[in-house]
Structure 1
Amino acid sequence: MNFSVFGTGLMMGLSLIVAIGAQNAFVLRQGLRNEHVFAVCLACGLSDAVLITLGVTSFRHVAALLPWLDPVMRYGGAAFLIWYGAKSLYSAFHSSGALTVQETASSTFRATLVTCLALTWLNPHVYLDTVVLLGTISTRFPGHEVSFAAGAATGSFLFFFSLGYGATWLRPIFSKSASWRILETLIALTMWMISFNLLRAL
């Protein structure tokens, strides 16, 4: 293990993942609701680890062999984000004061996990960050790709668990329904903005 390369991977992974996106918004929301937080953080971290490993090893070769893969990921991801944004906006405008942490209707573990995985695996931006960018950067460290990938994956785990459990400190603010309405609206706008950028790039 080359700890210098590991540290570079860690910093690069954190710098790419910190940007607000669909996946991060969902983790924050689950943390605020204190709902399946560990499973959501673990699923996001493991997904990133798999994608980073894929990028460091073979994805560039796969993309070259399957040129249709990129547009398919973009259309599928955009469609899902538009639906999820509409769902969040509906919640913002039609939910009552029962949106407090204690009173918000809980989602099942299965539904939460499926949504989490969809926001991860159907979002082309996740592939761009983890597979393409980190995979490309790893080529700067021939012979130490494993150390780089391990550092980047560690950064993902640190970020998601910090975001999910750190949301606890924000819970008093979101004990008011107005705060939840604002959050749901921001999530909807974020989803739609990402989907617009995906479609515009086609």
Structure 2
Amino acid sequence: MLKGKTYGKQAFRTQKSKEKSLGEVAEKYYNLCTIRGTSEITIKGYKYALKYFNEFNGDSPINSVTVNMYILYLKKNGFKDTTINSYIRKLSPIFNYGHSKGYLPKVEIIELKVQKTFKDIYTEQEMNLLLKPPKQKDFVSIRNWCIVWVFASTAIRRTELINLKVMNVDMVNRVIALNHTKNKKVYSSI
């Protein structure tokens, strides 16, 4: 029997095509991320990487060759290998989600090999200059000096500092309780 035909009182459903555009797949994936509790910054990163990919690819079909051509396109436009890997890593979960739901074909993504380099760190003189108390005693100068001290002393992330509340700081025991973290765990930092 053919699907979509009626025989007697029995109607057989036609199988709808599951194929969806990359934009539709991405929206479904973003919704899933929101349900899972993925941070807004992570979802924003996915959107940013997808924007660059869409500028390159448009509505063309997606496959492993397309991704490789995209990598070459980014290289020709002066993107660093680490940036390219970052964009590819952010596209990968969207492609994998689309493939797992049957919306997109399997796309094999290969990251670029990148030469690791030493990161420049502040010298002792630069740190002393940064941590020196401000000459001006206005709110903004003291606030900025405190922010630099917190970063230098605790190595917390920017978003963790932004979400820090007065009640999270214990000056006596020299402890900062972090309730808003990237991995959703609660930490105490000294």
- Please identify the structure whose Cα radius of gyration is greater: 2
Q: Greater relative contact order: 1 or 2 (C-alpha under 8 angstroms, separation 6 or more)?
A: 1
Structure with the higher strand share, 1 or 2: 2
TM range (shorter): under 0.3
Structure with the higher helix share, 1 or 2: 1
With structure 2 as the length reference, what TM-score do the two structures score?
0.27
